[in-house]
Amino acid sequence: MIWYILLFLSRAKEDDGPISSKDVAECLKCGRELARAARRRGNELVKSGINLDAYTPGILHFFSGDLPPDLKKASDVSKEILSATKLLQMKMHSSVTPSMFHSYLEQQGVCLRDPFCQPSLITCSSTSKYRSIDGTCNNEEHPEWGRKGAPFTRIAMPRYADGIYTMPVARSGHSLPNPRLLSTRLFADRAIGSRVLTNMNVQFGQFITHDMLFQVMDVTDEGGIQCCLADGRDVLPPEWQNDKCIPITVPDNDPFYRQHDIKCLNFVRSVTTPRDDCSLGHAEQMNTVTSYLDGSAIYGSDKKISSKLRTKSGGRLRQEERTGCIRGFLPSVKDKFAVCDLRNASEPCYLAGDIRINQSPTLAMLHTLLLREHNRIANKLSKLNPLWTDEKLFQEARKIVIAEIQHITYQEWLPTNFGADYLRYYRISPSTLYSRDYNPEANPGVINSFGAAAFRFLHSIISDNIVTCPKTYDKAYLYRLSDYYSNPCLLESDPDSFDDVVRGILASNAGESDPFCTGEITNLLFKSRNQWGMDLIAMDIQRGRDHGIASYNDFREICGLPRARTFQDLANEMSQDRINALQHLYECVDDIDLFVGGALERDMQGSILGYTFQCIVAEQFYRTRIGDRFFYDNGEMPHSFTTDQLKEIKKASMARLICDNTDGVHFVQKKAFEVESAYNPKYKCDDYNNIPYVDLTAWKKPSLDIF
């Protein structure tokens, strides 16, 4: 690979003038060769034995599935583009800064001409009443926006060291602080429970995240990428490392890992993808699911997966029956041990629209509730409209379930976490029956800083344990979260187990919204059969750097705060002890990572977030609503719900979802995301005044309406 660069540089010239088309063509040709050489080298490393060991935290972190062929090809092309961009930068005069180079590319619009990579040419039907599975054609003017495989969007220029793809450095040119050191110093393990929020609140937040975004790590054709010596004893020598390795080194005096002689946490860069216009420029990471809040975690983001999940009868999704249980469970994957971390073959491992479903029993529980909700609705619609086809029943049931998810998110979950007054003031959650805010110029694509930083703050409210409660509520059983990563067996240990988990998640408190994080995620993530695991907070910090997320100070300015010139300028947003800690760890206020700075801000009134994270999260959910043509309360469109139907949809709640889809949960607090209290008591599930139900008779159609 090196000889390509040397040959290229031997012919390169420093020139103040513009780069010629011949230069661009040469860079593209050489970039393609460099990318292909890197791919061959990666495969050879795995073949030579430098691969991920079974039952290690690293391999469980890779339980994300292979990319489908179209996304794999896009990833390969993006590597060629990035190599070509770097070579083109080398041809520029030495006085040209990364910022100047980026401006040049923007002005010139230099693009890759490749049979695969060309501006999207997607044909859409203007008569479709239902959203596509892969997110295409939601926006008829920009049919590629929000699709599976689209690049994340940005609201700030990235801070790659070279302006293209190199990991960021401090303003001085030195390395940024070690992510593991930041985790242990700033995000200590301290058990502080929320006084307001339940663990159902945490779980729904994870579901929303999975519905809207999924960045996957790069892999070789031969398997996962290893960046550490066996068992994390040290970092691999450079000559043995894949060029996508960005391992997290562990300090010698680490309070936890030194007990296990761990010096390295495996970490690999995210898959990248070309821009929609195939232009050269800085790296853009790929979102491998649709960006819309569209139930893709249930239904999948491509036709192949969606078809695999359906029964093709009565509009229902596949489910499996269990002895002693009235309602069904998610179907099983074929090769359980390839997806889950099981102790024996009798333990469940589920199949759903999102492969991450098995990450925890409570996530699988929520998926199961939504599977049952779809089939419950499909069965009722079939009785109301016996002439409807399987496809009609499936699409209508899917449309209703997506609407319920959107309604619960915008009218129940978001206000609980981020403040109802704030959301209404900025029109993030509309208050009228219909909204007419759809804007075809609003890109609903997930903002990179939202997915790689701001929304990851929810990791701080994860609690230590999974709690289960019997129907008598006379006792509670606690299970360590780290004992059940990638193993949802708690849901099926006996016929009552599923409902016990539901009762437990409603009765247990989430963690407090503060920088303190449980050791279950900072020391033991994906630990499998080991005594140690990964550090999710260190990974969050490293992922933000991998994605070139702009600094905390940059986002302060974007969100309307004054740019900090010194650490003390942060005093209005965070406490003095946190400022002192930052000053001790970072050289300069401009170096602070967005995840770190945002997490240390004081919460805003009524919110679990500080000012900067609130700004980013609000921007995302505003775009997610107004950029979705099929959003559930959009009015005056061919696919809009009727007035009677929309009124029923707006009765949906997390409490009703639980009541309708469990066997033995008979009492639920009205606000299921908040703890039971005098202001939020439990009600019987058949108390329809306090826990209204969605009356589906509003969907009964004339007998001729069967398609």
Apex 247 CA angle, 242 and 249, nearest 5: 140
Phi, psi of 479 (to 5 degrees): -125, 130
Could you tell me the two tokens for 387?
A: 């002439």
Contacts of 603 (CB under 8 A, 6+ apart): 513, 609, 610
Instruction: Produce one character per residue of 34-70: b if its CB has 16 or more CB atoms within 10 Å, e if not.
Output: bbeebeeebeebbeeebbbeeebbbbbbbbbeebbee
Question: What contacts 538, CB < 8 A, 6 or more positions away?
Answer: 179, 180, 182, 183, 248, 265, 522
**373, containing H or E segment:** helix 361-384
Q: Give the span between the Cα atoms of 449 and 620, in whole angstroms.
A: 10
Q: How far apart are CA 431 and CA 120, in angstroms?
A: 36
What stretch of H or E contains 248? strand 248-249
- Report how far apart, in Å, the C-alpha atoms of 425 and of each of 272, 415, 422 are: 36, 12, 5
Q: CA-CA distance, 325 to 496, in Å (whole number)?
A: 8
Rounded to whole angstroms, how far apart are CA atoms 470 and 475?
A: 7
CA distance 279 to 107: 11
d(CA 91, CA 21): 13
Q: Of 102, 210, 407, 547, which one is the catalytic site residue? A: 210
Helix (H, G, I), strand (E, B) or coil at 25: helix
CB 198 within 8 A of CB 674: yes
Residue 93 a catalytic site member: no
Please give the backbone phi and psi of residue 500, each rounded to the nearest 5 degrees, phi first: -65, -40
**Based on C-alpha coordinates, what's the Rg of the chain?**
25
What is the torsional sign of CA 151, 162, 45, 76? positive
Grouping H, G, I as helix, E, B as strand and the rest as coil, residue 673 is coil
Alpha-carbon distance of 428 to 443, in angstroms, equals 15
Residue 267's Cβ-count burial label (10 Å; 0-12, 13-18, 19+) is: buried
From 138, 150, 72, select the one nearest 446 (Cα to Cα). 150
What is the token pair recorded at 490? 């708690």
Three-state secondary-structure class, residue 249: strand
- Dihedral of alpha carbons 202, 203, 204, 207, sign: positive
DSSP class of residue 447?
B
Q: What is the largest CA-CA distance in the chain?
A: 79
* Burial class, 624, CB count within 10 angstroms (exposed 0-12 / middle 13-18 / buried 19+): buried
Phi, psi (deg, nearest 5) at residue 114: -145, 140
CA dist., res. 372 & res. 313, Å (int): 15
Report phi then psi at 685, rounded to 5. -65, -25
The token pair that represents 119 in the structure block = 């501006």
Phi, psi of 315 (to 5 degrees): 75, 10
Find out whether 374 is annotated in a ligand binding site.
no
> How far, in Å, CA of 274 to CA of 79, rounded?
9
Catalytic residues: 210
Binding residues for heme b: 459
